[in-house]
Structure 1
Amino acid sequence: MSGSIERRFCIQPGGQLTGHLRVPGDKSISHRAVLLGAIAQGVTEVEGFLEGDDALATLAAMRQLGVPIERPSEGALRIDGVGLKGLQAPPGPLDLGNSGTSMRLFAGLLAGQSFASELIGDGSLMRRPMRRVTDPLGLMGASIATTNEGTAPLRISPVKGLKGIDYEMPVASAQVKSALLLAGLYAEGITRIHEPAITRDHTEQMLSALGCPVSQQGGWIEVKGPVTLTSTRIQVPADISSAAFFLVGASIAPNSTVVLEGVGLNPSRIGVIEILQRMGADIVIDPDPVGEGEPTGQLTVRHAPLRGIEIPVELVPLAIDEFPALFVAAACAEGETVLRGAEELRVKESDRIAVMANGLSALGIDVEPQADGIRITGGRFSGGRVHARGDHRIAMSFAMAGLVASGPVDIDGCAEVDTSFPGFVELARGAGLEIEVIEEQS
């Protein structure tokens, strides 16, 4: 019986990053384009869709729910929306792979349906906490069973109807907020959600573009259901989370200059840019002409000496997915960088605080992990071997660390990189990273 394929990155030290690059489409927006286009009336056309494993899992699940979706060309979708009540019972469990966003958003979408459904995923996803979304959905009247540990499989039973609620999120989370907004489309009355800190607002923006009024005031976001969505055209910008690896790589590698084109510049997502600039990074933003949809622009980043900072707590939700890359920047900065208020990192695809701390330490960096953050003292990367634990963002972050290491860096557990960044190796290699991929049968 054959085992799975293990993938390892081998990075040779030295080199620099140069060139004009375009990273793949935004993963968060790609998920939402499929979910909302599917329940809109009419045909929604999507350009720039991320052809990565996570977003493709959302697409496959939506097809199982009876939504016709064509892929006329790479990055293009034609979604024949079935309306709010047009989804059909799936033939079996919906397998969402490694995608926590898919599972939480589908929980909200399916909570108000007239049929039963079950959400499953890979081993990593089945260990991730889901009660923070199933509990508030339960307050709306949803019936969602989890394991005793509050993890998947999520078994969603049909209910007579959902009701709008006022809900104050204990921890800022765009995924929880979005799940409740999706459920709110099916609920009677007003669903009001309060977030303790600003998080990405792609769901609110896309709902507005599809004709659903979304009110936002004083930290409260509300929708009034039930509502009819109308199809539109969606342009997915390049993903700033994917751009972050090159922002960091070019900042730390001498003689580097990289231009990143068409990057999404939603104000709720640019925390990584502000944090790097506070550390001394040389990043120039040239916004594209204002049009419909998400703001985009060109980012030019050049090598610059970095300094350690205390990361403002208010910027944490605006850069939550980019912290593995930011930890690499901190390891190359003069002095200490301190992160607090980021306990969310403990429950991502891996425990990103623990896994990054172990890897940084293995490469000679002085780190002190904490319950809700980390303290990193800048130094010099040695060569060595680290393990990404199947976490795509950690694998790509340590790949950039190899640019400035004193010896080769081997990174185990890199098979999941395609979940968010198909073509990463080829793009990075073309920009100047000396990266080799080793695949072995486990």
Structure 2
Amino acid sequence: MKTDHVQSSVRALTVHAPRAPLSGSLQVPGDKSISHRSLMFAALARGTTHITGLLEGEDVLRTADAMRALGADITRTGTGNWTVQGCGLDGLREPADVLDMGNSGTAARLLSGILASHGFTSVMTGDASLRGRPMKRVMDPLAATGAVFLSRQGGRLPLAIQGNANPPPLSYRLPVASAQVKSAVLLAGLNAVGETRVEEPVATRDHTENMLRHFGATVRVEPMGAGGRVITLQGRPELVARDIVVPGDPSSAAFILAVALLVPGSKVSVRGVGLNPLRTGLFTSLKEMGADLVISNERVEGGEPVGDITATAGALHGVDVPATRAPSMIDEYPVLAVVAAHAAGQSRFRGLEELRVKESDRLSATVALLEANGVKVEVVGDDMIVHGTGGAIPGGGLVQTRMDHRLAMSAIVMGLAARKPVCVDDTAFIDTSFPGFITLMNSIGAGLPA
């Protein structure tokens, strides 16, 4: 099934506080990071992989299209259920057209590792937001494979890649914590003879390592001083199809749990959330703020820890989040800032330089979101300091989302917890990571315009 993608029209929204507390039990869509990797790794394996719970947002559908263009047979068999007939590491073919990655930096960066290590030419592009995001962070290490890259100034898309069919194994130390760069190097190493080695000074999400093992690759992970790790991959493995169950995305659950904590009298449960310890920094930070979060029914599905989380509204206080926690919650800072705006006292989030190169400059955009709605916030170096109001956020402002899905959802959470309505300039991009977000919010009583 070929997916047709049409640029969504602008969807502005005015968000009012709900008339009653929020309540209910629900499931969020599948984890975006795991969904991307499921399609890529299944395409590189031999045999048929069945994927359950795949996120069917725009970003992941772009990955499906790209892997089809490279030779995999990918079919949707039902809601969240997909079948991938892989072509093996040596079975990829040159794509007949440009690969359009839409808004997905994850897909573009991970795919770069695959394309750099295969002997054909390919071209990637994306939407206006993705074309403005830096790719040099993957181009630089991947150039050591012998691949040739041609990009716009500053390493921006569109990007042409002339891959090398016989790349050498890489040894690379990450200059900054980035699961995307780590994964791109490991994916390039799949097609190299010998061991590819990546040093990360701070541990980042390890879905790539987990899934490589799931498909039969040999991956070693060893501790490195001060919380870092060394990941070693044996190249040219025989990847074999294995079924995958995608857990609920903790980054998506964050918005549901946050609003339940902020709207007085609310109690909401989210079932089947991924609890990978390298993804749960937000939950740790919320508990440090005094949040009533209860995790139950913990289990393992598809090699990933999963559980149910119940959030109950209550008083919150400020928190100091260390920079070492940033990799485990990098996508959740905007919504955590909204929670901090509601808390009593000052919150400081340290080491947020990575937020400057997300779908937007999320650091400046989060500051603007808060300031437009009556919250005092400041940036000191790479730290963000939020001065909490100790109650309902003033609100009444216009939020410019800058084509960023997480800013749009954070703005909606703010509006539901504010004294005055919050206007959101565009919610169309929410579908890139959380299709059905507004419908799901309304199922617990949010009362958002459909």
TM-score class, shorter: over 0.9
Report the equivalent of 1:92: 97
Report the equivalent of 2:226: none
Q: Does residue 321 of the first structure (1) align with residue 331 of the second (2)?
A: yes
1:237 to 241, 247, 252: 247
1:47 to 41, 52, 66: 52
The 8 Å contact of residues 220 and 232 in structure 2, kept in 1 or not, is answered as yes
Q: Does residue 294 of the first structure (1) align with residue 307 of the second (2)?
A: no
5+ long unaligned stretches in structure 2: 1-6, 224-228
- 2:327 is matched by which residue type in structure 1? P
Q: Does residue 392 of the first structure (1) align with residue 405 of the second (2)?
A: yes
Task: Give the CA deviation at 1:435.
Answer: 1.4
Q: Does residue 114 of the first structure (1) align with residue 114 of the second (2)?
A: no
Q: Does residue 104 of the first structure (1) align with residue 114 of the second (2)?
A: no
Q: Which moved more, 1:123-132 or 1:147-156?
A: 147-156
CA shift digits 1:152-173 (9 cap, x unpaired): 1111113252111221101000
The 8 Å contact of residues 283 and 300 in structure 1, kept in 2 or not, is answered as yes
- How far, CA to CA, are the matches of 2:413 and 2:296 in structure 1? 24
The 8 Å contact of residues 263 and 313 in structure 2, kept in 1 or not, is answered as yes
Task: Give the CA deviation at 1:69.
Answer: 0.8
The 8 Å contact of residues 48 and 242 in structure 2, kept in 1 or not, is answered as yes
Report the equivalent of 1:331: 341
1:11 to 15, 34, 47: 15
- 1:93 is matched by which residue type in structure 2? V
- How far, CA to CA, are the matches of 2:394 and 2:114 in structure 1? 45
- How far, CA to CA, are the matches of 2:167 and 2:21 in structure 1? 55
2:37 to 32, 37, 43: 32
- 1:266 is matched by which residue type in structure 2? N
Task: Give the CA deviation at 1:406.
Answer: 1.2
- 1:77 is matched by which residue type in structure 2? W
- Relative distance call for 1:4 and 1:422 in structure 2 (3 A) is closer
- How far, CA to CA, are the matches of 2:418 and 2:299 in structure 1? 39
CA shift digits 1:247-284 (9 cap, x unpaired): 11111111010110000111111111001101111101
The 8 Å contact of residues 103 and 127 in structure 2, kept in 1 or not, is answered as yes
Q: Which moved more, 1:388-397 or 1:281-290?
A: 281-290
- How far, CA to CA, are the matches of 1:289 and 1:385 in structure 2? 42
SS in 2 for 1:5: coil
Task: Give the CA deviation at 1:291.
Answer: 4.9
Which residues of 2 match residues 293-372 of structure 1 at below 5 A? 293-372=303-382
Report the equivalent of 1:188: 193
2:27 to 22, 44, 47: 22
Task: Give the CA deviation at 1:117.
Answer: 0.3
The 8 Å contact of residues 271 and 309 in structure 2, kept in 1 or not, is answered as yes
5+ long unaligned stretches in structure 1: 438-442
- How far, CA to CA, are the matches of 1:244 and 1:223 in structure 2? 32
Question: Given the two structures, how large is their TM-score scaled by the length of structure 2?
Answer: 0.94
Q: Does residue 179 of the first structure (1) align with residue 178 of the second (2)?
A: no
- 1:398 is matched by which residue type in structure 2? A
CA shift digits 1:258-314 (9 cap, x unpaired): 110000111111111001101111101114334542111100110121111110222
CA shift digits 1:122-165 (9 cap, x unpaired): 01000100001110011232222222211111111132521112
Report the equivalent of 2:427: 414
Report the equivalent of 2:278: 268
- How far, CA to CA, are the matches of 2:57 and 2:333 in structure 1? 21
Count of residue pairs the alignment pairs up = 436
Task: Give the CA deviation at 1:414.
Answer: 1.6
The 8 Å contact of residues 401 and 408 in structure 2, kept in 1 or not, is answered as yes
Q: Quote the RMSD (CA, aligned, Å).
A: 1.4
- How far, CA to CA, are the matches of 2:42 and 2:32 in structure 1? 15
2:175 to 170, 179, 188: 170
- 1:238 is matched by which residue type in structure 2? G
- Relative distance call for 1:77 and 1:220 in structure 2 (3 A) is same
- How far, CA to CA, are the matches of 2:8 and 2:260 in structure 1? 34
- How far, CA to CA, are the matches of 1:102 and 1:126 in structure 2? 13
Q: Does residue 73 of the first structure (1) align with residue 86 of the second (2)?
A: no
Question: Given the two structures, how large is their TM-score scaled by the length of structure 1?
Answer: 0.96
Which residues of 2 match residues 130-169 of structure 1 at below 5 A? 130-169=135-174
- How far, CA to CA, are the matches of 2:109 and 2:31 in structure 1? 18
CA shift digits 1:350-379 (9 cap, x unpaired): 111111111110100001024423110001
Greater relative contact order (CA < 8 Å, ≥ 6 in sequence): 1
- How far, CA to CA, are the matches of 1:59 and 1:177 in structure 2? 21
The percent of aligned pairs where both chains have the same amino acid is: 46
- How far, CA to CA, are the matches of 1:427 and 1:281 in structure 2? 22
Q: Which moved more, 1:380-389 or 1:323-332?
A: 380-389
The 8 Å contact of residues 54 and 420 in structure 1, kept in 2 or not, is answered as yes
- 2:446 is matched by which residue type in structure 1? L
2:293 to 264, 268, 283: 283
SS in 2 for 1:406: strand
Report the equivalent of 2:87: 82
The 8 Å contact of residues 13 and 409 in structure 1, kept in 2 or not, is answered as no
Q: Which moved more, 1:267-276 or 1:8-17?
A: 8-17
Report the equivalent of 2:3: none
- How far, CA to CA, are the matches of 1:193 and 1:378 in structure 2? 40
SS in 1 for 2:248: coil
Q: Which moved more, 1:367-376 or 1:304-313?
A: 367-376
The 8 Å contact of residues 353 and 373 in structure 1, kept in 2 or not, is answered as no
Which residues of 2 match residues 400-439 of structure 1 at below 5 A? 400-436=413-449
Task: Give the CA deviation at 1:190.
Answer: 1.1
- How far, CA to CA, are the matches of 2:368 and 2:26 in structure 1? 31
- 2:142 is matched by which residue type in structure 1? L
The 8 Å contact of residues 363 and 383 in structure 1, kept in 2 or not, is answered as yes
- 1:162 is matched by which residue type in structure 2? P
- 1:247 is matched by which residue type in structure 2? L
- How far, CA to CA, are the matches of 2:350 and 2:29 in structure 1? 30
- How far, CA to CA, are the matches of 1:32 and 1:393 in structure 2? 20
- How far, CA to CA, are the matches of 2:106 and 2:163 in structure 1? 22
